């Protein structure tokens, strides 16, 4: 039986990180910021310092809870000609650094966080670029949103989401319970203390080669990568796990790098990168595992080019007109359209399902949409009660007042006031139904605008 | 005794003015609005026809099959070529009045068969001439108004 090769990180004397090694290597390839989160003594700092040793980097290691700005930039002094300011460089200042580790980033003062922000995000300090700086790393203890747990680290504050969003990947360091027996033995080996990571430059050569491949592929990102990133972002946002557009791009970069490191596209790898791309633990939030699993499933189907892949995007798409466009462009058969409609109506909120059905049902009934009889009936059940309404509403009126309108009318009037013609008539009809049903759309104007966008798409495609 | 009476009077007067909140009444309003068959709107979904059949106390399918055979047709599908019906899909809405409804006991067989053919092409929500003619108790006992939805996108 062939003995398994030690992982790259184990060869550097870093144990227990095998599961997240592809994520760490992807961060080395993209050179995007990496943040390690874990309890004290789990090897976060050791890992990052070992990487800098193995790569032979000019490395700076700052403790954010103790740092002063002068530590970073050096002591300022005026230029000899009096025009501007220079900084007195020391071995600890950041100017010549190729890699920077900001330890305990969650323990620093807010004003220091702001200064670190430009370092992490832009590779700049005081607006001055740091051309040699390639890798920006940070580490922190876990925090919770309210610091109420018994395992909370006092002083480890939730990270500002704007700063957290600049990190591309988040690696959770494994604690003792998560280590294998072999890893525990390696960790307790007394000879490991003070060892300098040195693999003879092997990791550096690999990183350089992967980086070259990464840069070559940036111009034409493989379809599975961008498809996965797009679908995962849409699905997570639909599942109330907020992901910024910037993070969607960072996710695509990390996936591309991880694919290059692994040599192929692997489902488990994509899931691991997705999990490591969520910044929420930085501010003490832990998104539901089910939401992440569902987003990964939808995204992986999309990346794999499955014939049903568009359905995931259709269901999770936030705008109704984009939903309709997906239906028109990708529903290959009426049955596929019917199934998608059934899932969509079940997944959406009542007012959004109603708005979508209201907008497309007439075209569907005319047979102009790729929807079968079952789908048309599903739409009809939702839309028919909206097309004609007849009912009674009641509200409380103060004795001194007379002729007051229903309170909902005031909200809806704002959405209607600028509308004209058929658009206004459709909007009035829809909102009459909302009032009778006791439905209060959060943004009536936005919902109406999306209904109108569906109508315009149907008109533009000559479907009515 | 007088003191108690005076307090009761004071309370009777004050309770109207201080009952815990501003006095209010419940207002009710009826909302009726439709985009279907409303000729005053820019969104025009005109009513094309009303369909429905009044049956005696007998199975509607048996009654209609008897009329169909009596007129020399073997199957409801045979009516397609004989009777002129709307040629594209329409939106259906339940209809509860009697006006425009044919009665198998009084009206001409051809009118009854026309209604039966159209009802056989309807679900509760849609009229679709491309679907097969289905005569069932449910389909034949519906009363529907049919509207052309094309004008919805005006």
- Beta carbon pairs, A and B, within 8 Å: 121
pLDDT in tens, B80-95: 989 999 999 999 999 9
Ordered DSSP codes for B119-141: HHTB-SSEE-TTSPP---HHHHT
pLDDT at res. B132: 93
Rg of chain B over all Cα atoms, to the nearest angstrom? 28
User: How many other CB atoms sit within 10 Å of the CB of residue A306?
Assistant: 12
Residue B29 and residue A421: Cβ atoms within 8 Å? no
Structure tokens at A360: 């497309």
User: Residue A78 forms beta bridges with which residues?
Assistant: A85
pLDDT in tens, B33-78: 999 998 889 998 999 999 999 998 889 999 999 999 999 999 999 9
pLDDT at res. B30: 92
The per-residue pLDDT of chain B, averaged, comes to 87
CB-CB contact of B90 with A361 (8 Å): no
pLDDT at res. A1: 42
The mean pLDDT values, 10 residues at a time, for chain A of 464 residues are 70 89 96 94 91 92 84 83 80 90 87 81 87 94 65 75 92 91 87 75 92 93 92 88 94 96 90 96 89 90 77 87 94 93 92 96 95 93 95 86 82 87 95 93 92 96 90
Q: Per-residue confidence at B1, pLDDT binned at 50, 70, 90?
A: very low
pLDDT at res. A4: 63
Structure tokens at A75: 């002591």
Measured between CB atoms, which of B24, B123, B131 is closest to A396? Answer: B24
Q: How far is residue A166 CA from its own chain's centroid?
A: 11
Task: Collect all residues of chain B within an 8 Å Cβ-Cβ radius of residue A388.
Answer: 33-36, 93
Longest dimension (CA), chain A: 92
Separation between Cα atoms, residue A438 and residue B62, nearest integer Å: 45
pLDDT at res. A21: 93
Residue B111: which residues within 8 A CB-CB, separation 6 or more? B102
pLDDT at res. A2: 46
Q: Which of A359, A360, A362 to mutate to test the interface with B (most CBs of B within 10 A)?
A: A362
Residue B35 and residue A388: Cβ atoms within 8 Å? yes
pLDDT at res. A20: 92
pLDDT at res. A108: 83
Nearest residue in A to B124, CA atom: A377
A407 Cβ under 8 Å from any chain B Cβ: no
DSSP β-ladder status, B90-94 and B102-103: unpaired
Measured between CB atoms, which of B32, B124, B149 is closest to A362? Answer: B149
Higher-pLDDT residue of B3 and A125 is A125
Q: B interface toward A at CB cutoff 8 Å? A: 22-36, 41-43, 45, 88-91, 93, 123-126, 128, 130-131, 149-150, 152-154
Cα–Cα–Cα angle for A315, A368, B122, rounded to 5 degrees: 100
Task: Collect all residues of chain A within an 8 Å Cβ-Cβ radius of residue B26.
Answer: 394-397
Higher-pLDDT residue of A278 and B28 is A278
pLDDT at res. A91: 83
| Model confidence pTM above 0.95 | no
Task: Collect all residues of chain A within an 8 Å Cβ-Cβ radius of residue B125.
Answer: 365, 376-377, 380-381, 384
Flag whether pLDDT at B133 surpasses 90: yes
> Which contiguous run of DSSP H or E holds residue A376?
helix A373-387
């Amino acid at each position: 039986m062939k003995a398994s090769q030690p992982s790259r990180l184990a060869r550097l004397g870093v144990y227990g990180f095998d599961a997240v090694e592809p994520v760490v290597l992807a961060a080395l390839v993209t050179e995007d910021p990496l943040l390690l989160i874990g309890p004290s003594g789990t090897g976060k700092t050791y890992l990052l310092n070992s990487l800098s040793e193995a790569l032979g980097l000019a490395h700076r290691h700052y403790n954010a809870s103790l740092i002063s700005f002068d530590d970073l930039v050096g002591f300022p002094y005026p230029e000899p000609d009096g025009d501007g300011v220079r900084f007195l460089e020391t071995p600890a200042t950041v100017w010549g650094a190729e890699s920077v580790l900001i330890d305990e980033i969650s323990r620093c003062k807010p004003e220091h966080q702001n200064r670190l922000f430009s370092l992490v995000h832009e590779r700049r300090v005081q607006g001055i670029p740091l051309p040699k700086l390639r890798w920006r790393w940070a580490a922190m203890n876990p925090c919770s949103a309210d610091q109420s747990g018994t395992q909370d680290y006092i002083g480890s504050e939730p990270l500002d989401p704007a700063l957290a969003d600049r990190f591309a990947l988040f690696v959770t360091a494994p604690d003792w319970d998560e280590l294998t027996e072999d890893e525990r033995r390696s960790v307790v080996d007394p000879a490991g203390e003070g060892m300098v990571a040195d693999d003879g430059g092997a990791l550096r050569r690999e990183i350089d080669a992967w980086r070259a491949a990464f840069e070559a592929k940036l111009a034409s990102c493989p379809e599975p990568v961008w498809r996965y990133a797009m679908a995962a972002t849409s699905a997570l946002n639909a599942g109330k796990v907020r992901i910024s557009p910037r993070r969607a791009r960072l996710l695509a970069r990390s996936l591309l790098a991880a694919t290059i490191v692994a040599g192929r596209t692997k489902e488990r790898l994509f899931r691991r990168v997705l999990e490591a791309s969520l910044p929420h633990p930085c501010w003490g939030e832990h998104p539901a595992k089910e939401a992440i699993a569902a987003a990964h499933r939808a995204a992986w189907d999309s990346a794999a080019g499955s014939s049903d892949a568009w359905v995931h995007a259709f269901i999770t798409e936030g705008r109704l007109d984009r939903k309709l466009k997906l239906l028109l462009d990708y529903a290959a058969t009426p049955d596929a359209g019917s199934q998608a409609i059934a899932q969509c109506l079940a997944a959406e909120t009542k007012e959004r399902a109603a708005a979508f059905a209201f907008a497309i049902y007439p075209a569907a009934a005319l047979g102009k949409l790729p929807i079968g009889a079952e789908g048309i009936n599903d739409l009809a059940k939702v839309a028919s009660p909206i097309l004609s309404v007849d009912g009674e509403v009641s509200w409380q009126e103060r004795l001194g007042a007379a002729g007051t309108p229903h309170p909902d009318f005031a909200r809806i009037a704002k959405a209607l006031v600028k509308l004209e013609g058929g658009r206004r008539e459709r909007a009035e009809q829809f909102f009459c139904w909302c009032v009778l049903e006791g439905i209060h759309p959060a943004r009536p104007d936005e919902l109406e605008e999306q209904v109108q966008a569906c109508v315009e798409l149907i008109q533009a495609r000559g479907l009515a | 005794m007088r003191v108690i009476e005076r307090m009761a009077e004071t309370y009777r007067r004050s309770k109207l003015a201080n009952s815990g909140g501003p006095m209010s009444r419940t207002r009710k309003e009826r909302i009726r609005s439709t985009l279907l068959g409303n000729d005053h709107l820019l969104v025009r979904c005109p009513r094309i026809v009303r369909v429905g059949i009044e049956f005696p106390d007998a199975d509607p399918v048996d009654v209609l099959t008897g009329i169909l055979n009596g007129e020399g047709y073997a199957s409801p599908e045979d009516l397609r070529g004989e009777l002129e019906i709307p040629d594209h899909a329409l939106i259906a809405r339940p209809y509860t009045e009697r006006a425009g409804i044919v009665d198998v006991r009084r009206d001409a067989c051809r009118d009854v068969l026309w209604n039966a053919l159209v009802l056989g092409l309807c679900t509760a929500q849609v009229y679709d001439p491309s679907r097969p003619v289905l005569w069932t108790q449910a389909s034949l006992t519906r009363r529907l108004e049919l509207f052309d939805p094309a004008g919805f996108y005006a």
